[in-house]
Amino acid sequence: MSPFAAQAVDTARLALLPLRVEHAEEMAAVLSDPALHTFIGGTPHTPQALRSRYQRLAAGSPDPAVSWLNWVIRLRDEDCLTGTVQATIGPSGHGPTAEIAWVVGTPWQGRGIASEAARGLVDWLDGQAVRTVLAHIHPEHPASAAVATAAGLTPTGEWHDGEIRWRRGHARARASAQP
């Protein structure tokens, strides 16, 4: 069994809810803009394809030492889903290390939602004693760099698949990617 499991996290405006297969239909609409994939690759999923993906994510990492944690971001006042955050937690020489990422649907961008969600996620990880947090950010993606900064990460000089590694804490990472 994975050592970590996603729990609900509340921030001022948002509820981060552990991702469930039932979220796929609403999320397929939230994530339907092809522009969301400029930096993360791929294309938008149909509801059915997203359901299959969420089933794979819910089944968890094949490596029992690695935890795949995923949340949908609910904007409480508008009672709608707006995006996702994720953390892939694996062991490192300095305790557990999380690699985090975020996506916010185009209609909800520019309202501080990704920054608030990423801060909530990093605070939650801190409460789980996961103090080393990484993100990989394309050098020409200032919005994502601003989100990482808001979450307390700073850029390192390290590159990973054409992206810059950002880090909070000091340990070196080992975390396998989610599908």
Ligand X SMILES: CC(C)(COP(=O)(O)OP(=O)(O)OC[C@H]1O[C@@H](n2cnc3c(N)ncnc32)[C@H](O)[C@@H]1OP(=O)(O)O)[C@@H](O)C(=O)NCCC(=O)NCCS
Tell whether residue 150 is a contact of ligand X (CB under 6 A). yes
List the one residue from 14, 17, 133, 147 that touches ligand X (CB under 6 A).
147
- Give me the torsion for CA of 15, 20, 24, 26, rounded to 10°: -30
What is the distance between the alpha carbons of residues 67 and 103, in angstroms, rounded to a whole number? Answer: 19
Q: In the sheet that 132-137 helps form, which strands lie side by side, from edge to edge?
A: 9-10, 14-18, 67-75, 80-90, 97-104, 132-137, 163-168, 154-160
Tell whether residue 19 is a contact of ligand X (CB under 6 A). no
Binding mask 75-104 for ligand X (x = CB under 6 A): --------------------------xxxx
Query: What is the Cα 26 distance to its own chain's centre?
Result: 18
CA distances from 160 to 13, 31, 102, 109 (A): 33, 25, 17, 26
Question: Shortest approach of ligand X to residue 64 CB, angstroms?
Answer: 26
Q: Is the CB of 52 or the CB of 109 nearer to ligand X?
A: 109
Question: Shortest approach of ligand X to residue 146 CB, angstroms?
Answer: 3
Applying CB under 6 A, the span of 45-53, 58-66, 139-147, 153-161 interacting with ligand X comes to 139-147
Tell whether residue 151 is a contact of ligand X (CB under 6 A). no
The single residue listed with the structure tokens 């690695």 is 66
Tell whether residue 32 is a contact of ligand X (CB under 6 A). no
Residues contributing to the site for ligand X (CB under 6 A): 36, 39-40, 101-104, 109-115, 135, 137, 141-144, 146-147, 150
